[in-house]
Amino acid sequence: MTASTLQPILDDDDDDADLDRAPPPAPAAEELRLDDPALFLNRELTWLAFNARVLHEAEDLRIPLLERVKFLAIVSNNLDEFFMKRIGGLKQQIGAGVHTPSVDGRTPAEQLKICLTRVRAMHVEQKRVFDQLLVPLAERGIRIVRMAELPDDAQARLRLSFRDNIFPMLTPLAMDPAHPFPFISNLALNLLVTLRYPGGSESYMARVKVPVSRDVSKRLIPLDGTTTFVTLEDLICANLDMLFPGMEIDSAELFRVTRNAVVEPNVEAANDLLELIETELRERHFAPIVRLEVEEGTDAVHRGMLAAELGLNEELDVVEVDGMMQLRDLFEIAGLDFPDLKDPPHRPVDHPLLANDRRNIFHIIRENGPLLLQHPYQPFSTTVERFLRTAAEDPKVLAIKMTLYRTSAGAILDSLIEAARNGKQVAVLVELQARFDEAANIGWARRLEAEGIHVNYGVLGLKTHSKLIFIVRRDYAQLRRYYHIGTGNYHPGTAKLYTDLGMLGCDEGIGQDLTELFNYLTGYSPPPSYRKILAAPYNLKRGLIDRINREIEHQRRDGSGLIQMKMNALEDIDITRALYRATYAGVRVDLIVRDTCRFRPGLPGISENARVISIVGRFLEHGRIIYFRNGGDEEYFIGSADMMGRNLDSRVEVHAPVENPELRQELRLILDVQFADQRSAWDLDSDGIYTQRVPADDKVKGAQETLMAVAEKRLAAAGKHKEKKMRSRLLSHFQWRLRGKD
């Protein structure tokens, strides 16, 4: 297999192609200026490059067919969010007259133009990959066909199903002087129907919303329970005579809009944060439109009319889609029951110290020291959920405090409610501003409040993104503080799909820090100074930069400087500049960055000692690890923050030290396995180009598969150790009994 190389931006024949090239050459090492735009990659473009790597998974023949379909759906979903958040934000800046260039030297208008060029190229790639996938899908009997291709009897059966199940839900909306242009909701599929009275020459227009939803209908309608599908919009088009009886249908053209999700509430003027977020959600529903998608072949007049009615620039904001629109609905295909076309089922294995040990989990933590949790290789249910469930039931537990950024109905909320009913003090900080989860979090907050739980919304002006459970328990004659500190949300669904880390412990210093942190979050305590943890926005960035500078001093003294970081994104300018200072001084810097990365490795004389890789695999990489060699007195941290300005400056984040030698070995193994990955890793070069590593043998496993196997071996080894230990205990017991009888 040959190496795959993804350029940050695909060249085109535009007059603006000069904006669409690799970054300019870096300055000479002796002239290093940390404010030079040539040192920085663009945030938006590096995120799009990540999406290109995900798209590559959809055409990788080593990946099972339906998993490839899943990756194609993920790309579509990601691009929708990119338009809602990133393109929406750039358009807001342009509308506000912002001309200040980003750190990489591009104005908002220049970034917008480059991003749209890149996305257009990605749409072409999506269509190409989609067409490729249709062939092997058809070979397995999975087809998406047009209604007109079906036999008459099949069309008749679908028509009956449409009449009974879809037709009652449709609401055609006329568009004429008496009926103004209707509201178009975000990411909804719509049909623009043109029709005439019989024999008439005047055309009329109507809009029909395609009701794709969990409650009404899936997008892909199966034929008689088979794996042959028609799209819901095609089924509607074939039966428009039911909606417009007696009318002549001239055309039915599919379109969709994307609205800006960047609706910033006026936090300073807020009296009630809950009411403020509810208002923001209503405003987002009516937010400005940033993209109009129309199907290929849409009449030019109709296209112009839609753009005008929606207040869009037809040249910049309208995208003509070749083929199936809204490919995220291919999740319906990816979910089909074809086990041989999917990855082998992944069954998490219990943590070695928790498996087959039904004792109180607090006793296990106290006796064994901290436990490092690795999801999804270890179950969320037998670790985090067990920890919280035990706290709810244990009569010695007096108080539970927790931060909730994203969650779902189920064990987490049930345990909190049970704890409150059992008379424990329960305080939950619910982050109402978790993007796209605001409505759900409002619902959880109200449900918890109804159960008598103290619900708080954090510090005004800061999002609380930390992942913390803090428990106070009476152990013997003293109070002991237990905690879970994680990198991922308390969401059992994502815990099966994301790679995350967590630590269960009862260290006194960390416990004191968390006590003060929660007092600050829920009360009026001033920002504390911490003993062990690094917390944003107070001491996390400063603490990291101080440690980076310390590595520079170690490098100057004995050449031992080493920094390793694993994160989702590297965007913060101060951290990026500090890393440049380190590499410039000779410190070795190894970075695992999933998506956005401003840092350019391999610049001659500047960052030759640095490497950046990105892991794209079966699970979404989400864990965060920070390591400093520190002259041999090593430091490891895990936590919730990426190296982004928003995380370090305007969110409450926590990174905790990992001091236990055995846990450090586990973190070292994760880092070493990922840096050595020859199957799923992509290397970033100094020009922003990613190249996929190529193993010598196609049977080589990626980092995620390797860590799955490690988890299984650890559990098996622990089982043998426990069995041996138990046998020894039994033997000693029987020997004692025999001696007693003698």
All residues at 6 or more sequence positions from 296 whose CB lies less than 8 Å from its CB, including other chains: 320, 321, 322, 323
Instruction: Determine the Cα–Cα distance for residues 582 and 559; give it in Å rounded to an integer.
Output: 12
Q: Indicate the burial class of 508 (C-beta count within 10 angstroms; 0-12, 13-18, 19 or more).
A: exposed
Please state the separation of Cα 348 from the chain's center in Å. Answer: 21
- Alpha-carbon distances of 419 from 125, 168, 237, 398, rounded to whole Å: 52, 46, 54, 9
Tally of CB atoms within 10 A around 16: 11
The kind and range of the H/E element at 57 are: helix 43-57
Q: Indicate the burial class of 248 (C-beta count within 10 angstroms; 0-12, 13-18, 19 or more).
A: middle
**Are the beta carbons of 442 and 274 closer than 8 angstroms?**
yes
Q: Residue 655 corresponds to which tokens in the numbers above? A: 């990174």
> Beta strand pairing status for 204-209 and 189-196?
antiparallel
All residues at 6 or more sequence positions from 244 whose CB lies less than 8 Å from its CB, including other chains: 172, 193, 195, 206
> Beta strand pairing status for 173-175 and 463-464?
unpaired
Q: Residue 155 corresponds to which tokens in the numbers above? A: 């069309």
> Beta strand pairing status for 143-144 and 228-231?
parallel
**Are the beta carbons of 256 and 190 closer than 8 angstroms?**
yes
Instruction: Determine the Cα–Cα distance for residues 58 and 53; give it in Å rounded to an integer.
Output: 9
**Are the beta carbons of 304 and 315 closer than 8 angstroms?**
no
| The one-letter amino acid at 566 | K
Catalytic residue among 56, 123, 375, 465: 465
**Are the beta carbons of 455 and 449 closer than 8 angstroms?**
yes
Number of H helices and E strands in the chain, helices first, is 21, 28
Question: At 5, phi and psi to the nearest 5?
Answer: -120, 130
**Are the beta carbons of 322 and 296 closer than 8 angstroms?**
yes
Which of 412, 652, 628, 362 has its CA nearest to residue 521? Answer: 652
Would you report the helix, strand and coil content of the chain in percent, each value rounded to 5? 40, 20, 35
Active site residue 346: no
Query: What 8-state DSSP symbol labels residue 473?
Result: E
**Are the beta carbons of 356 and 719 closer than 8 angstroms?**
yes
All residues at 6 or more sequence positions from 245 whose CB lies less than 8 Å from its CB, including other chains: none
Residue spans of beta strands (DSSP E) within 7-136: none
Question: At 50, phi and psi to the nearest 5?
Answer: -60, -45
Instruction: Determine the Cα–Cα distance for residues 737 and 138; give it in Å rounded to an integer.
Output: 71
Which of 626, 640, 538, 543 has its CA nearest to residue 590? Answer: 626
The kind and range of the H/E element at 67 are: helix 65-82
What is the set of active-site residues?
A: 465
